């Protein structure tokens, strides 16, 4: 078995992983990044709309500041976030965006003069100030009081990822792509790296590191209809959960995006609605103002997705061979805008749907999109339970999103948290050494090999049968709307799948070399456990908060549920053990009404000593 040793091991080479790697490499530490795919094909490159930061450069962002961004973020989270982290994020985002410009990101810029913008689907004229010429522009996104989403047309993730990847090349960071992390090396107290599979050869490889970072993205592939790429299988979260000592936070908090296309489930950006697009029903009637008169299509994603689903339930969906959907209308934005600011939307629509959005409506419906839950970390990015283990980005529960994240906040989080956590990793490494344990390394490698050997002896279902069943269960029983009966049924079915996965077989019957089936089979038991963490957390949380909508408990219950779920999984258990911690250590913004998607709130009492004046730094 080959062995590599480094200061920092980044499991994942998307935006969050690469931003941490930049900080560590700039400080002179050796860094190795692992990636399932060539790093520039990481799922971060698919992000279109932009990154939120309170720059206040555009006329529609005039007067914006980190306090306003902080308030939007907390309201968007439905008061489920850690307000200390939300404050760190809002304050750091403007600095991080300007740094990315310095590194070479070609942000769309302010052009002075009179321009046609859209608000509420209706055009209006606004004059951009001459003194703002050339500054980073911004667009509208849902749930925000100001236009603050920095963008590069609708290819923001692509532009930022390529910029960071080029910076890593300049810094000499080692990149091992086509590599799948299978298990963390640890002794129950300290993390020392990971065991990975070389997907080219099938060989197991040990990576020994003083600091290990999980930045592997989300776990959307536990759902059938998801905007997530096939590589978003929760691999990093699985390795953490398998330790038995590292918890996953708020796994029941998963977001459905309003505009997944039909039938491909490819995302079209919220920038479509931010730039003035509207949602229409089977009668081509614009229905969102009836539900949300103030925000309409630009309410938060959880609200818009629920309103769309409610409208289809009333019989206003468009029938199709692929199920019901609604329409997204951007025709009124005009050919020039669509082929420049929304060029990827144009390409996706024409190439994958056979729809020309300049003249035709785009078929859309709510589709699973984002994981608010993940490896629970503190404000510095350090994982609970194991020293030397950090996490960042969508793989982590930092937790600035709470129970719903605003569009543009997650893409911004990758470089903001990457900057903050990268600096904390550098501080941690200075004066920190670890004695690498050959016993722990051998035990981890033997555990991975035993799983591979068991697949050769298995006589039950193949991995694809189990995956498809899992995804169907999650769609049917743990979707946008949840209730006790469905969640219990879904959990029972998932537990049965977990048992069946113990006798999984390889349809190909062999494990040597680069075998995609083996890569999937190694993930499936862990993905089912992630599904059970999601379903069980949703069952036990008897309230509705953000994206977690219980039909049998429609109230947001601040009295009993202003807490974060922590899910631990001990080997051999049939279900995770759930624990809870306070959602936030203190409040700059005490719980209140979001201003959209309003419902009944069961108020809780917040001690006066936990309330701080708005804008007060920690």
pLDDT at position 599: 83
- Average pLDDT of the segment spanning 601-609: 92
Query: 26 phi and psi, to 5 degrees?
Result: -65, -25
Q: In the structure encoding, which two tokens stand for residue 44, read together?
A: 């971060």
Can you name the CATH fold of 2-55+88-108+153-253+370-429? FAD/NAD(P)-binding domain (3.50.50)
The reported pTM is 0.94
DSSP 180-220: EEEEEEE-SSBEEEEEEEETTT--EEEEEEEEEEE-----G
Please give the mean pLDDT across all residues of the chain. 94
Contact indicator for 109, 134 with CB cutoff of 8 Å: yes
For CATH 3.50.50.60, the residue range(s) in the chain are 2-55+88-108+153-253+370-429
Q: Which residues contact 331 (CB under 8 A, 6 or more apart)?
A: 357, 358, 359, 360, 361
For CATH 3.90.700.10, the residue range(s) in the chain are 254-369
CATH architecture of 254-369: Alpha-Beta Complex (3.90)
CA dihedral 467, 213, 169, 106 (to 10 degrees): 80
Task: Give the separation between CA 279 and CA 286, rounded to whole angstroms.
Answer: 6
pLDDT grade, residue 501 (50/70/90)?
Answer: very high
- Predicted confidence (pLDDT) per residue in 322-346, tens digit: 999 999 999 999 999 999 989 999 9
Can you name the CATH fold of 441-556? Methane Monooxygenase Hydroxylase; Chain G, domain 1 (1.20.58)
For CATH 1.20.58.100, the residue range(s) in the chain are 441-556
Strand locations in 341-424 (E):
362-371, 374-376, 389-391, 396-397
Contact indicator for 11, 194 with CB cutoff of 8 Å: yes
Residue 618 has pLDDT above 80, yes or no: no
- Predicted confidence (pLDDT) per residue in 219-245, tens digit: 999 999 999 999 999 999 999 999 999
49 vs 194 pLDDT, higher one: 194
pLDDT at position 431: 85
Using alpha carbons, list the distances in angstroms from residue 113 to 123, 128, 339.
16, 5, 21
337: how many CB neighbours lie within 10 A of its CB? 18
pLDDT at position 447: 96
- Predicted confidence (pLDDT) per residue in 343-388, tens digit: 999 999 999 999 999 999 999 999 999 999 999 999 999 999 999 9
β-bridge mates for residue 365, sequence order: 260
Task: Give the separation between CA 305 and CA 267, rounded to whole angstroms.
Answer: 14
Identify the CA nearest to 235 among candidates 36, 602, 582, 523.
523
- Average pLDDT of the segment spanning 592-613: 91
Contact indicator for 65, 187 with CB cutoff of 8 Å: no
Residue 257 has pLDDT above 70, yes or no: yes
Q: In the structure encoding, which two tokens stand for residue 346, read together?
A: 């144009």
pLDDT at position 616: 55
Instruction: Give the least confident one: 35-39, 168-172, 471-475, 597-601.
Output: 597-601
- Average pLDDT of the segment spanning 239-265: 96
The pLDDT > 70 percentage for the chain reads 99
- In terms of residues, how long is the chain? 618
- Predicted confidence (pLDDT) per residue in 383-423, tens digit: 999 999 999 999 999 999 999 999 899 999 999 999 999 99
Task: Give the separation between CA 559 and CA 221, rounded to whole angstroms.
Answer: 34
- Average pLDDT of the segment spanning 248-262: 96
Identify the CA nearest to 587 among candidates 566, 606, 560.
606
Pairing of strands 191-198, 204-214: antiparallel
pLDDT at position 513: 64
Residue 532 has pLDDT above 80, yes or no: yes
pLDDT at position 509: 66
Task: Give the separation between CA 470 and CA 528, rounded to whole angstroms.
Answer: 7
- Average pLDDT of the segment spanning 9-18: 96
- Predicted confidence (pLDDT) per residue in 429-486, tens digit: 998 999 999 999 999 999 999 999 999 889 999 999 999 999 999 999 999 999 999 9
Residue 512 has pLDDT above 70, yes or no: no
The residues carrying an active-site annotation are 257, 273
pLDDT at position 377: 98
User: ∠ at Cα 370 (245, 325), nearest 5°?
Assistant: 145
- Predicted confidence (pLDDT) per residue in 118-177, tens digit: 887 788 999 999 999 999 999 999 889 999 999 998 899 999 999 999 999 999 999 999
- How far is C-alpha 353 from the geometric centre of its chain's CA atoms? 25
């Amino acid at each position: 078995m080959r062995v590599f040793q480094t200061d920092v091991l980044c499991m994942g080479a998307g935006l969050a992983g690469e931003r941490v790697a930049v900080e560590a490499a700039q400080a002179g530490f050796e860094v190795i990044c692992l990636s399932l795919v060539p790093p520039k094909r990481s799922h971060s490159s698919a992000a279109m709309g932009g990154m939120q930061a309170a720059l206040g450069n555009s006329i529609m962002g005039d007067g914006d500041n980190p306090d306003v961004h902080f308030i939007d973020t907390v309201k968007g989270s439905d008061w489920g976030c850690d307000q200390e982290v939300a404050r760190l994020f809002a304050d750091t985002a403007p600095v991080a965006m300007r740094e990315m410009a310095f590194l070479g990101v070609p942000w769309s810029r302010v052009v002075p003069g009179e321009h046609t913008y859209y608000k509420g689907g209706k055009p209006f004229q606004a004059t951009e100030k001459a003194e703002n010429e050339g500054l980073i522009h911004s667009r509208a996104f849902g749930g925000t009081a100001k236009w603050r989403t920095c963008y590069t047309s609708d290819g923001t993730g692509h532009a930022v990822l390529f910029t960071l990847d080029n910076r890593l090349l300049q810094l000499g960071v080692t990149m091992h792509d086509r590599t799948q992390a299978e298990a963390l090396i640890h002794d129950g107290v300290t993390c020392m790296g990971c065991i990975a599979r070389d997907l080219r050869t099938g060989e197991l490889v040990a990576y020994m590191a003083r600091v290990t970072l999980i930045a592997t993205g989300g776990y959307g592939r536990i759902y059938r209809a998801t905007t997530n790429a096939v590589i978003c299988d929760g691999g990093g979260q699985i390795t953490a959960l398998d330790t038995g000592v590292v918890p996953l936070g708020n796994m029941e908090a998963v977001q459905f995006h309003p505009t997944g296309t039909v039938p491909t489930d490819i995302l079209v950006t919220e920038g479509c609605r931010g730039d003035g697009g509207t949602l229409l029903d089977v009668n081509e009637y614009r229905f969102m103002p009836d539900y949300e008169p103030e925000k309409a299509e630009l309410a938060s994603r959880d609200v818009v997705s629920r309103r769309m689903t409610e409208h289809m339930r009333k019989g206003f969906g468009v029938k199709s061979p692929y199920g019901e959907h609604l329409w997204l209308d951007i025709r009124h934005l005009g050919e020039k805008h669509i082929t420049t600011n929304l060029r990827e939307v144009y390409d996706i629509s024409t190439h994958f749907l056979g729809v020309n959005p300049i003249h035709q409506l785009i078929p859309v419906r709510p589709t699973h999109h984002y994981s608010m839950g993940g490896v629970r970390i503190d404000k510095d990015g350090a994982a609970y339970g194991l020293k030397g283990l950090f996490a960042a980005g969508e793989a982590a529960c930092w937790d600035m999103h709470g129970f719903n994240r605003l569009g543009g906040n997650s893409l911004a989080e990758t470089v903001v948290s990457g900057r903050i956590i990268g600096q904390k990793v550098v501080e941690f490494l200075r004066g920190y050494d670890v004695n690498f344990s050959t016993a722990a390394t051998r035990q981890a490698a033997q555990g991975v090999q035993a799983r591979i050997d068991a697949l050769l002896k298995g006589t039950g279902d193949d991995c694809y049968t189990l995956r498809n069943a899992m995804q169907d269960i999650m769609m049917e029983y743990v979707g946008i709307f949840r209730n006790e009966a469905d969640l219990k049924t879904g959990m029972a079915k998932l537990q049965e799948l977990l048992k069946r996965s113990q006798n999984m077989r390889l349809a190909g019957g062999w494990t040597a070399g680069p075998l995609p089936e083996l890569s999937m089979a190694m993930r499936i038991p862990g993905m089912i456990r992630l599904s059970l963490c999601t379903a069980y957390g949703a069952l036990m949380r008897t309230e509705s908060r953000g994206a977690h909508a219980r039909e049998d408990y429609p109230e947001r219950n601040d009295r009993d549920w202003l807490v974060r779920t922590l899910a631990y999984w001990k080997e051999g258990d049939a279900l995770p053990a759930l624990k809870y911690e306070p959602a936030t250590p203190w409040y700059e913004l005490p719980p209140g009404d979001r201003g959209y998607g309003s419902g009944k709130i069961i108020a809780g009492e917040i001690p006066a000593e936990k309330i701080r004046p708005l804008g007060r730094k920690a």
